[in-house]
Structure 1
Amino acid sequence: MTADALPMVVPDSGLPARVRIHEVGARDGLQNEQRAVPTPVKAEFVRRLAEAGLTTIEATSFVHPKWVPQLADAEQLFPQLAGLGNIDLPVLVPNQRGLERALALGARRIAVFASATESFAKANLNRGLDESLAVFEPVVRQAKDAGVHVRGYVSMCFGDPWEGAVPLRQVARVCTALRDMGCDELSLGDTIGVATPGHVRELLALLNEEGVPTHEIGVHFHDTYGQALANTLAALQHGVTTVDASAGGLGGCPYAKSATGNLATEDLVWMLHGLGIETGVDLGRLTATSVWMAEQLGRPSPSRTVRALSHKDQ
């Protein structure tokens, strides 16, 4: 990568020195593909992401194949990722059966997927909000008994396609319920991409007031209205140091049709590096990985940074 393909570094003393990127492309991104990606391609994708310097790569989901057929190969994929060194490979589990499948393969980090709204809980989980939380409680307890790290995803934190604006205290109630169960980390999802920076700051402040420390919070923004990076910056200014992103901007949400996709990891890294924030990620290698994956999928990457840097290399 040439020097002009790197951002000028202008540090901001009010921001974290380092950010951990929670890469979701291999799970959240590929689960939305129209056709299943071959298992060897998924494994190679994860390996390339690790070689680019990403240390947390969400690998797959142990959801029943009926619901997410694109990830039906979880049992075949996960063993192929052994030997990646000190790479965290979280997996999504929907229930105790999913947890048992994951633990049997040696998974040490799992995630449960909750909703901040009744409507999305019914659409995505086929249960009401409180009923879905009750299902997660024994899952989290069993995972913690096994010494496994548990992440709690909370979707629709900033808006819902059926209910509209979501009250902040409703979001906080779900977040604190998951934390009380034993979740080590919470990921706040802007599933349909309607958040704005002030909204982000207000929710983070309320969660702190409710006893959720900032170091246990990650953010997961979609770029439907072009606000993902602005919202990420607002979270960083609050002290958040874990940011979810998807290589090449893969993915969206199959139950939220207006969601245009996840924040692209390359776009995030460009901003962070320009701010002097360490990530451990080699942007050139990451971009090459997303270009390769786009070729496997037969379409160009939606990431602006991938497109810009790929053009420079031509």
Structure 2
Amino acid sequence: MEARAKGMRVDLDDVDEQLVRALQRDGRASYEALAKLVGLARSTTKARVRRLIDDGGLRLIGAIHPAALGLHQLGHVIIEAEGPARPVAERVAELDEISFVTTTAGRFAVTAELRTRDMEAFSRGLARVQASAGVRAVQAITYLQIWKDPYFPPGPLESTDTLTEADLDPSDHALLEHLRVDGRASFADLASVSGLSPGATRARVLRLLETRVVHVGALVRLNPLSRTHTVGFALTLSGETEPVARKVVELDEVDCFATGIGWCNGIGTIRAGSQEGVFATLEHLRGLSGVRTVESWAHLRAIKEEHDLARPIAGAGERSR
């Protein structure tokens, strides 16, 4: 799915950035709470959020935790292409295992994320990427722990207290289907699709949120006309991972960060309003004790940016091959 652009540049000021980060934490936050946070009137705050949605490529979605869909193995691949990058990215985006694809500026042309049930399925998915026409070489990192992510709670992938597929009934699935399209849907609207009363629907939604099956947050799309810079980075470490990871996620400009096994020790994303902000963050990362090397690349365009939409909710198990 390609990032939307309406032919105008969207300038995000400090207030917009505050709103985006607040909505990433809680996409169902009231306009009153958001207005209090940024120090503006409720009507002005609501208008700001609407502008971000209409012109800034912002979506408020319900991101479903991969574990709730039986997807326990996540990882990231960088792809070197033979020839133009876009056709390669589009072919990779068609694979079921792939939840995210971008074209980049750097020594490789494409990045992608895989989500599968287990390591065996991950290996098959990686082989599919390698076999795609135009792919020269790939390097992968399989995640062991998510330290920071605007859509999912942090923690080891093999240990989660989220509900599983077996805990979800048809009403839950109906609510999830609706929330992942419209994260701020009213309880009345949600009741109309769940088959439950508004009170029972509210209780179900709160249960899904509290058990971390779904997180409603702001999906910030890679809009080519936005002045927000989105830059990926990979860290190679010289010692223990945890002390470095804890310092990395303290940086406000670091949008997400995961550690694992593969071509690097950790991989993440920087979002900053200026090139100077990106440079300052990269310099901070380079200066951290325990960081041996930092490699970075600019995300240019999203070819697939679905996150939880990699598979339909109905029959969320892995598709037959």
TM range (shorter): under 0.3
* CA radius of gyration, larger in: 2
Higher helix share: 1
